[in-house]
């Protein structure tokens, strides 16, 4: 169904006649089996509803502080054995996990769909990211973590070995928007580096995280090594921050600050993957068809509930009208639907809160004079929290969607005359997560990329070129985060770096009755000689 073609026969919110056309029905017994993996003895449970129907999906047992402590105890015990296994053996488990994720994709994609409502192809994006990450770290962990020899104080007399020592138990706090990859992909490098993991997924998407944990166990990862706890962020999340040897957080900038403060008090490290207000620049030499197609994916993947998705587009004057017409036409041609099967280009938002946030941004913009080029409406005929993919023009700084993250399918398009001005506007605001440039001149686009203050910049693609290249470090500048996932940086963050110095033959002090003054003279000559020799 197109964005503008409401069909009342498609799934209604509370009508049992209109259940989503699932490839598999949701099985409550499956949920009950999965929740047995939780460390949760509080006796309380939370009801989770599916965004596909608005109807209750499962009861999730809730963890308390004691459960979090128990999860850490079990994880620490398991880690003491795990760390003694060779890295190659740990990597083998990741490769088996890779295969299981691909083999069992229908089961995983169904659960992602039930819990998040996203279109199946967007579920597949995250599933393939998990497989890529598992393979990448299985194949590269030994290289990233191998002990390095570095030059010592006295050449050949001082030997330096740098070791990467696992932190111990890593705490992961993840959001709901990419429930499979954000629950799994940060933990995989932690595991292969020799750590254990305790994870608290968002309350809406606990089952997907539990299925990931089950697949890890089936792949040969000891059950206690990967603990899952459930409950409200301020309680269960902060209990994790109070016990972890390192915290990996993905979520909003506001919560990221709270996590950073908690880690600072305990002097433990953290990586923070936070919000964004990501720009695309369409330069005058861009391939317009390609830019319009890319803009649809960049703006509306997972209904815009994606940290790296585009919310601002700056388009060169010379191609503005042509580009916007094609972007609108392609958006109007999108297939919208709240079903588990393939074929939808966009699914619903995840919750009533998300719908309100998106609707408030659009209403505010319209009330203050913005023009809706397409979309702009909620679509309860499709699913309770559905909102159309929306393109706005005429957005001004007084409107909330100008600078604040909408985290929904809403993008503002602006005209620019000069590229320096476009770069300056793209760099406005507090965020610096992801940017994108469309141009047929690669070297020029890469030169402009260096001026964009974002942790990742994609050329002729919205976000997939960097996100899918798992050797490329990924994270935010400015208020979009601290630290990096992916690449060597993404695994070394879970280690403490230890330098071991072995001194041979001479001491680093005056020898054989030499005075301090004579020693200083010898050292001065040697420092000068080293500089002349070009030593670092």
Min dist CB 309 to ligand NAD, Å, is 9
| Cβ contact 323:282 at 8 Å | yes
* Residue 274 vs 292, nearer CB to ligand NAD: 274
Task: Between 222 and 435, name the residue whose CB sits nearer to ligand NAD.
Answer: 435
Shortest Å distance, C-beta 233 to ligand NAD: 2
- Closest to ligand NAD by CB, 109 vs 182, is 182
478: region left, alpha or beta (phi > 0 left; psi from -120 to 50 alpha): left
Q: Give the integer Cα–Cα distance in Å for 106 and 209.
A: 15
- Ramachandran area for residue 156 (φ above 0: left; ψ -120 to 50: alpha; else beta): left
CB of 308 vs ligand NAD, minimal distance in Å: 7
The vertex-38 CA angle with 33 and 40, nearest 5°, equals 120
Q: Residues 6 or more apart from 95 whose CB is under 8 A from it?
A: 134, 135, 138
Q: With contact defined as beta carbons under 8 Å apart, do 361 and 408 qualify?
A: yes
- Report the residue number, 157 or 258, with the smaller CB distance to ligand NAD: 258
Neighbouring C-beta atoms of residue 89, cutoff 10 Å: 12
Q: 166 vs 435, which CB is nearer to ligand NAD?
A: 435
> Least distance (Å) from ligand NAD to the CB of residue 361?
14
H or E segment and range at residue 354: helix 352-367
Q: How far is the CB of 241 from ligand NAD (least distance, A)?
A: 6
Strand partners, 477: 432
Q: What are phi and psi of 97, to 5 degrees?
A: -60, -45
Give the nearest distance from C-beta 461 to ligand NAD in angstroms.
Answer: 17
- Could you tell me which of 360, 126, 82 has the C-alpha nearest to residue 225? 82
Residue 278 Cβ vs ligand NAD, minimum distance, rounded to whole Å: 9
Q: Least distance to ligand NAD from the beta carbon of 254, Å? A: 7
Q: Smaller CB distance to ligand NAD: residue 166 or 237?
A: 237
Instruction: Report the residue count for the chain.
Output: 536
Q: What share of the chain is helix, strand, coil (3-state, %, to 5)?
A: 45, 20, 35
Select from 425, 436, 437 the least CA-distant residue to 397: 425
* Residue whose CB is less far from ligand NAD, 2 or 42: 42
Binding site for ligand NAD (CB under 6 A): 173-177, 182, 200, 202, 233-234, 237-238, 250-252, 255, 258-259, 273-276, 307, 405, 407, 433, 476, 481
Residue 491 near residue 187 (C-beta atoms within 8 A): no
Q: How far is CA 94 from CA 48, 80, 139, 145, in A?
A: 30, 19, 9, 16
- The residue ranges of DSSP E strands in 340-386, in sequence order, are 371-374
Q: For residues 157 and 18, give the distance between their C-alpha atoms in angstroms, rounded to a whole number.
A: 77
Helix (H) or strand (E) holding 438: strand 434-438
Per annotation, catalytic residue among 273, 311, 405, 419: 273
Active site residue 273: yes
Which residue number, 185 or 339, has a Cβ lying nearer to ligand NAD? 185
Which sequence positions are flagged as catalytic?
273
């Amino acid at each position: 169904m197109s964005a503008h073609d409401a069909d009342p026969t498609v799934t209604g919110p509370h009508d049992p006649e209109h259940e989503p056309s699932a490839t598999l029905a949701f099985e409550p017994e499956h949920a009950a089996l999965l929740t047995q993996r939780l460390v949760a003895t509080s006796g309380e449970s939370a009801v989770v509803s599916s965004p596909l129907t608005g109807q209750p999906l499962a009861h999730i047992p809730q963890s308390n502080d004691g459960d979090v402590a128990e999860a850490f105890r079990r994880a620490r015990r398991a880690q003491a054995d795990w760390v003694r296994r060779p890295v190659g053996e740990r990597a083998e488990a990741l490769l088996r996990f890779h295969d299981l994720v691909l083999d069992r994709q229908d089961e995983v994609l169904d659960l992602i769909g039930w819990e998040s409502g996203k279109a199946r192809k967007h579920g597949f994006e995250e599933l393939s990211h998990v497989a890529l990450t598992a393979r990448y770290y299985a194949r590269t962990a030994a290289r990233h973590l191998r002990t390095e020899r570095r030059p010592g104080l006295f050449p050949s007399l001082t030997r330096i070995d740098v070791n990467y020592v696992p932190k111990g138990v890593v705490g992961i706090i993840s959001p709901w928007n990419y429930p499979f990859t954000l629950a799994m992909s940060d933990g995989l490098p932690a595991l292969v580096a020799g750590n254990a993991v305790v994870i608290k997924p968002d309350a809406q998407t606990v089952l997907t995280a539990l299925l990931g944990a089950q697949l890890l166990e089936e792949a040969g990862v000891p059950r206690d090594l990967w603990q899952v706890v459930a409950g409200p962020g301020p309680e269960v999340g902060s209990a994790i921050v109070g016990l972890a040897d390192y915290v990996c957080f993905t979520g909003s900038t506001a919560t990221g600050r709270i996590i950073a403060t908690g880690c600072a008090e305990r002097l433990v490290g953290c990586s923070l993957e936070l919000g964004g207000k990501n720009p695309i620049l369409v330069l005058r030499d861009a391939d317009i068809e390609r830019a319009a197609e890319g803009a649809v994916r960049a703006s509306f993947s997972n209904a815009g509930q994606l940290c790296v998705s585009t919310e601002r587009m700056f388009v060169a004057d010379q191609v503005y009208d042509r580009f916007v017409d094609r972007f609108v036409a392609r958006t109007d041609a999108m297939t919208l639907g709240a079903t588990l099967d393939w074929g939808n280009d966009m699914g619903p938002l995840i919750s009533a809160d998300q719908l309100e946030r998106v609707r408030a941004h659009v209403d505010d913009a319209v009330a203050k004079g913005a023009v809706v080029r397409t979309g702009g409406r909620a679509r309860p005929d499709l699913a309770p929290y559905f909102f159309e993919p929306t393109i706005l023009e005429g957005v001004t700084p007084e409107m909330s969607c100008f600078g604040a993250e909408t985290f929904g399918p809403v993008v503002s398009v602006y005209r620019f005359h000069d590229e320096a001005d476009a770069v300056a506007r793209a760099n406005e605001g507090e965020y610096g997560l992801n940017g994108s440039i469309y141009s047929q001149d690669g070297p020029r686009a890469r030169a402009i990329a260096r001026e964009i203050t974002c942790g990742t910049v994609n050329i002729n693609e919205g976000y997939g070129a960097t996100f899918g290249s798992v050797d490329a470090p990924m994270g935010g500048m400015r208020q979009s985060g601290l630290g990096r996932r992916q690449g060597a940086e993404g695994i070394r963050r879970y280690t403490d770096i230890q330098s071991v110095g072995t001194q041979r033959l001479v001491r680093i002090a005056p020898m054989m009755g030499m005075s301090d003054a004579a020693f200083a003279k010898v050292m001065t000559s040697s420092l000068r000689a080293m500089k002349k020799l070009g030593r670092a």
